[in-house]
Amino acid sequence: MLKLAWRNLWRNRPRTLIICSAIILSYALMLVSMGISEDTYTKMLDAAAEGAGGEVLVHGDGWWETQSSDIVIERPQAAQKALEGVAGIDAVIPRVVINGLATSSRGNEPVRLMGVDLDQEAKLADLTEDLDSGEFFSDEFDHPIVLSEKLVDKLGLERGDKVVLTASTPDGEVTRALFRLDGILDAAGMGESMAYTTLAAAQKAVSMEGQLTQFGLLTDEAVAHEQVAERAKTALEGRGLEVLTWQEAVPEMVGFIQMDEAFGYIYMIVVFIVVVFAIANTFLMAVMERVREFGLLNAIGMTPGRVGKLIFWETALMATISIAIGFGIGLGIHLYIADVGINTAEMYGVDMELAGVNMSDMIMRSEINPVKWLGATATVFLSVMLSAAYPAWRASQMAPAEAMRFYE
């Protein structure tokens, strides 16, 4: 039966090649789409955690919602010591966040100034990688500030120029602090209004000595963020602090990824429904072209069941060959994209931001998820086999007399 099915496939090569090409291209496209999506979602999740400031965030109760300057972390040393004793926390990163106005002789621009410890921040992300010119907190200036390229252009600044920050202290008083432009960051690597200074300089600028705005927590990969957040809440109970996972802090990103993934699956389902119907139609036409053949097979004693099995064997062989070739093509494209990548900034030519997370510098690559690839393979094989169900049944119902009448 298998030998006969193999011979039948190549009796009409154009028809077989057309069906195989549809399966191959659909399957390869599915694998490539899944690989790019998997890598993109992983990068988006990492970018979201980095943009939020950590996998788990700790700040004064209500600060994340209002970003108010009067909500601070009192006695941060005690809170940090408590957090460092929590199982599953790999790093505790202190920060001061100031929302204010940056002023130069040329004008004013809103700014979000982050007071950071570079050594601690490097555990989450190396901020110096985005440095376009100048230095990141050099010893040349007592109060250095690093601004984005766009902000520098708008304010008409050069390295060493004065930048005046106007902001509110925790007591509600408006204060001004003088900084010197130390470095300029690549515009594609950060938000336009983002700026950085040392932790001590930020605390001094808004009278927050001995206080912090936020702790960013890095967690052990083996422990779920939600579990670490619950442990942190227990450790900080009674201190008036709020603990959020990055998913809770940036729900827009989580919702976007879930929606995009759902649309991706819907798209694939629609594509395969179209392909399945096209294949089923081709199979049915093939059966109608072979009416006399099937009638003669019945006439010489082949049972209707065996005729149907013959169609299924032909389909199984065609599906196996197509999947093997499609897998090879999909794997080849995957390896190429994984190595070379697709630069989204060059593709779209504009800055990309989602839920406050900058994605302009994201290079799309491809990543294999074995479970999804196996699931796609099984789906394609079953879809092709199901597409042959009706043609196989139709072939099994043909009688010799019907075949003779068809050719009268």
Based on the fold, state whether residues 148 and 271 are members of the same structural domain: no
Look at residues 170, 205, 239 and tell me which one is the last residue of a structural domain: 239
The residues facing 307 across adjacent strands are none
Residue type (1 letter), 144: P
Residue 331 lies in a domain: yes
Considering 217, 239, 261, which residue would you say is the last residue of a domain? 239
Coil, strand or helix: which one is 90? strand
Distance in angstroms between the alpha carbons of the first and the last residue of the chain: 30
Residue 55 lies in a domain: no
Statement to judge: residues 221 and 90 lie in one domain: yes
Which pLDDT score, from 0 to 100, does residue 318 have?
Answer: 87
Cα-based angle 278, 280, 284 (whole degrees, multiple of 5): 115
57 within some domain: no
Given a contact cutoff of 8 angstroms between Cβ atoms, the answer to whether 154 and 180 are in contact is no
d(CA 22, CA 151): 52
* pLDDT computed for residue 355 by the predictor: 47
> In total, how many domains does the chain have?
2
Asked if residue 192 and residue 95 are part of one domain, the reply reads yes
Q: Does 39 share its domain with 102?
A: no
* Closest to 177 measured CA to CA, from 140, 208, 204: 204
pLDDT of the residue at 190: 59
DSSP for 199-259 reads HHHHHHHTT-TT-BSEEEEEE-TTS-HHHHHHHHHHHTTTS-EEEEEHHHH-HHHHHHHHH
Q: How does strand 174-185 pair with strand 144-148?
A: parallel
Q: Residues 79, 221: one domain?
A: yes
Question: Whole-model pTM?
Answer: 0.69
56 within a domain of the structure (yes/no): no
C-alpha span between 283 and 213 (Å, rounded): 67
Helical (H) or strand (E) element with 178: strand 174-185
Per-residue pLDDT at 253: 75
Do 220 and 315 fall into the same domain? Answer: no
- The answer on 131 and 35 residing in a single domain is no
Q: What's the alpha-carbon Rg for the chain, to the nearest Å?
A: 32
Task: Specify if 72 maps to a domain.
Answer: yes
Which positions of the chain have pLDDT values less than 50?
Answer: 350, 355-356, 407-408
How far apart (Å, rounded) are the C-alpha atoms in residues 206 and 214?
A: 15
Instruction: Give the Å distances, CA to CA, from 188 to 47, 56, 80, 371.
Output: 13, 25, 33, 35
For residue 263, the enclosing domain spans 2-49+253-406
Please tell me whether residues 364 and 387 are part of one structural domain: yes
Domain closes at, from 216, 239, 262: 239
173 shares its domain with 225 = yes
* 205, 319: one domain: no
Q: What span, in angstroms and rounded, lies between the C-alpha atoms of 109 and 53?
A: 23
